[in-house]
């Protein structure tokens, strides 16, 4: 009986280490349904040794990527050109999904055909499952690959627009495309947080940055070069 209780306790602790990993503040639907763009969290108040996070900047002034405590914001110049702000302080997010991850396992995938975000979602789910990650529980991931083509967006609202309407949101959205680029992606997978930190039609929320460092944003479409290996990073399982 004692042995059985010990085994059950071991399993619960093992699973709980993943369950506590992903946290969030606010919700994606706050923007499009509630038409609100005020901050739900000041990122500097998060206590984490190795913080990874995604979300939109307060008042829709860019896309946030926190990569191992390093804060980046995909924004636009005055003439509408994309650029990346680095080491941003006092950063506030409308909503934020985040995790504290000190160690990652690397999965190398070769000869894999990725022609859409849906393909990527399937790949991540299968690879994570094979790594003994419970895919019914939210988890973060990183991907390093070469993109044949893709596009994303940056939400960057004109400061003169004080009332949030559908038209204002459409004007705030700037699309950016890319071809033949090495790409770095930070994302979160969840089957249970649609319209909270993933869109209603996907289990993924991904922000990207190109290796040239001049373009980043929220990823919408992606085709990967099948001749270049995909490096997928998932959180290393913590031992009880």
Which segments of the chain are extended strands (E)?
22-25, 41-42, 51-56, 63-67, 70-76, 82-86, 92-93, 96-100, 104-109, 139-155, 173-189, 204-210, 216-224, 230-235
Least confident of 35-39, 104-108, 132-136, 197-201: 197-201
Residue 6 has pLDDT above 70, yes or no: no
Q: What is the DSSP string of 185-220?
A: EEEEE-SS-BTTTB-TT-SEEEEEEETTSS-EEEEE
State the Cα–Cα distance between residues 57 and 40, nearest whole angstrom.
Answer: 10
Residue 36 has pLDDT above 90, yes or no: yes
Give Cα 55 distance to the centre of its chain: 8
Residue 102's φ and ψ, nearest 5 degrees, are -95, -20
Encoded tokens for 33: 């349904």
Three-state SS at 222: strand
Order of strands across the sheet that contains 96-100: 22-25, 96-100, 51-56, 63-67, 70-76, 82-86
State the Cα–Cα distance between residues 160 and 110, nearest whole angstrom.
Answer: 48
Residue 21 has pLDDT above 60, yes or no: yes
Q: What is the CA radius of gyration of the chain?
A: 18
Per-residue pLDDT, averaged over 72-101, amounts to: 94
pLDDT tens digits for 164-190? 999 999 999 999 999 999 999 999 999
pLDDT of 122 reads 95
Q: What is the mean pLDDT of the chain?
A: 89
pTM (2 d.p.): 0.89
Which residue is it, tokens 């059950």?
Answer: 8
pLDDT of 213 reads 63
Topology of the domain covering 2-235? 60s Ribosomal Protein L30; Chain: A; (3.30.1330)
| Domain layout of the chain by residue ranges | 2-235
């Amino acid at each position: 009986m004692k042995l059985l209780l010990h085994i059950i306790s071991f399993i619960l602790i093992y699973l709980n280490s993943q369950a506590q990993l992903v946290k969030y503040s606010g919700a994606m639907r706050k923007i499009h349904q509630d038409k609100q763009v005020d901050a739900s969290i000041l990122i500097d108040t998060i206590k984490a040794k190795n913080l990874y996070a995604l979300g939109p900047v307060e008042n829709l002034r860019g896309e946030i990527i926190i990569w191992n405590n390093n804060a980046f914001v995909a924004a636009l110049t005055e003439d509408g050109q994309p650029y990346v702000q680095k080491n941003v302080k006092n950063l506030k997010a409308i909503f934020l999904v985040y995790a504290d991850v000190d160690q990652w396992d690397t999965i190398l995938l070769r000869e894999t055909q990725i022609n859409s975000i849906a393909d990527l979602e399937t790949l991540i789910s299968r690879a994570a499952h094979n790594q003994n990650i419970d895919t019914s529980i939210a988890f973060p991931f990183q991907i390093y690959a070469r993109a044949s083509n893709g596009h994303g967006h940056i939400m960057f609202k004109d400061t003169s627009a004080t009332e949030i309407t559908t038209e204002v949101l459409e004007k705030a959205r700037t699309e950016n495309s890319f071809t033949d680029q090495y790409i770095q992606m930070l994302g979160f997978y969840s089957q249970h947080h649609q319209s909270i930190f993933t869109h209603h039609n996907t289990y993924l929320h991904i922000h990207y940055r190109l290796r040239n460092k001049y373009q980043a944003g929220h990823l919408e479409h992606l085709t990967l070069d099948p001749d270049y290996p995909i490096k997928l990073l998932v959180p290393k399982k913590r031992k009880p």
